[in-house]
Structure 1
Amino acid sequence: MAVRKIYRKLFSCSVEDDVASSPALQEPLKKMLLRLVSSYRYAGEHVDMDVAKLEAAELSEAIREKRLHGDEVARIISTRSKPQLRATFQQYKDDQGTDIVEDISSSHCDGSGGGGKQLAGMLRSAVLCLTSPEKHFAEVIRYSILGLGTYEDMLTRVIVSRAEVDLEQVKEEYRASYGSAVSLDVAGDTSFGYRDMLLALLGGQE
């Protein structure tokens, strides 16, 4: 809500309008993004386990039938509260024996056109951001420093934006996933004042 308000102030238009009119976004990705940026979520902690069981089954069916672009998937992901989604995804794992993030990643051949793979990637990111943001941001840091060169904008955005939020959890998740410390990998892939600034935000080398 805050981002949408500032976006309108900065650019004199809504983020919803810009997503809807963007030629760079294909369907069904555009439809799902539009649902996400325009959604309103219940902010409380109440969880309805009957709803979690029902919607876990609906998500399972959509993934099995490669219908990630379906209205039910969009409704669940874009409107349910974070505690409710965590309960639904845990119920999904209990029922299916697999993590929903893994199943979404393997379910992009949905017959919905060229945006199918993009949609699966976006849904995967959305699920992680909503329920396990530290995993998502650990992945983003890893991606930004892999290979030749550094995606500096991406790396800077994550470290600066999470520094006062959950950076310690992101660092722990990074070490658990990749067997290395964020600070060591960042130090090895950056240089000079830029490196020093990032390391200061990370709390020095581990």
Structure 2
Amino acid sequence: MEISCTRSSDDLFKARQAYHVQYKKSLEEDVAYHTSGDFRKLLVPLITAFRYEGDEVSMTLARKEANILHEKISDKAYNDEEIIQIISTRSKAQLSATFNHYNDHHGHEIIKDLEADDDDEYLKLLRAAIECLKTPEKYFEKVLRLAITKLGTDE
């Protein structure tokens, strides 16, 4: 998830090619085989994404998708196809505009609305993916801080 959300489309494509050469199968194939359910539903599109890398954004689309995200999150439909489609296909600039509109229109950040259940592993993955896409440096600072204080992973 971290690699797919923080690298450029070209870097991710090269990583997928290198994986193919090294292991004689696709990364997508292995991720699909070793995951199931909602994890697979989110991870496979994230690693296959070839995002637009430019700065062009549609504010109309940002408003529309911010409202879709808010509606689905309010309904606790965290694994809804529309959420996954937005997160896995939109450019980082478009996602930034969408997240900013979400914050401005709904009064708080999307991450706060996704903190409903700390025991839900899929929800943790979705939250981490959004944080990585939104502000990767802030995400990695948090991972490092938690690892140093022994609250996170051993990474």
TM-score range, shorter chain: 0.7 to 0.9
For residue 60 of structure 1, report the CA deviation from its aligned partner: 0.1
For residue 41 of structure 1, report the CA deviation from its aligned partner: 0.9
- Number of the residue aligned with 1:72: 82
Residue among 140, 144, 148 paired with 1:145: 148
- Number of the residue aligned with 2:21: 9
RMSD: 1.8
> Aligned partners of 1:147, 1:93: CA distance in 2, in Å?
31
Query: What are the within-5 Å matches in structure 2 for residues 35-74 of structure 1?
Result: 35-74=45-84
> Aligned partners of 1:126, 1:101: CA distance in 2, in Å?
10
Query: What are the within-5 Å matches in structure 2 for residues 97-136 of structure 1?
Result: 97-106=107-116, 108=117, 117-136=120-139
User: 1:105 aligns to what SS in structure 2?
Assistant: coil
> Aligned partners of 1:147, 1:79: CA distance in 2, in Å?
34
Q: Percent identity?
A: 38
For residue 105 of structure 1, report the CA deviation from its aligned partner: 2.1
> Aligned partners of 1:3, 1:127: CA distance in 2, in Å?
21
Unaligned runs of 5+ in 2: 1-12
Residue among 102, 109, 119 paired with 1:92: 102
Q: Which amino acid aligns with 2:18?
A: I
Larger radius of gyration: 1
- Give TM-score, length-normalised by structure 2: 0.85
- Number of the residue aligned with 2:31: 19
Structure possessing the higher relative contact order (Cα contacts under 8 Å, 6 or more residues apart): 2
Unaligned runs of 5+ in 1: 110-115, 155-206
Runs of 4+ in 1 over 3 A off after TM superposition: none
> Aligned partners of 1:39, 1:92: CA distance in 2, in Å?
23
- Give TM-score, length-normalised by structure 1: 0.65
Q: Which amino acid aligns with 1:120?
A: L
For residue 45 of structure 1, report the CA deviation from its aligned partner: 0.8
Q: Which moved more, 1:25-34 or 1:51-60?
A: 25-34
Q: Which amino acid aligns with 1:70?
A: D
How many residues were matched structurally? 142
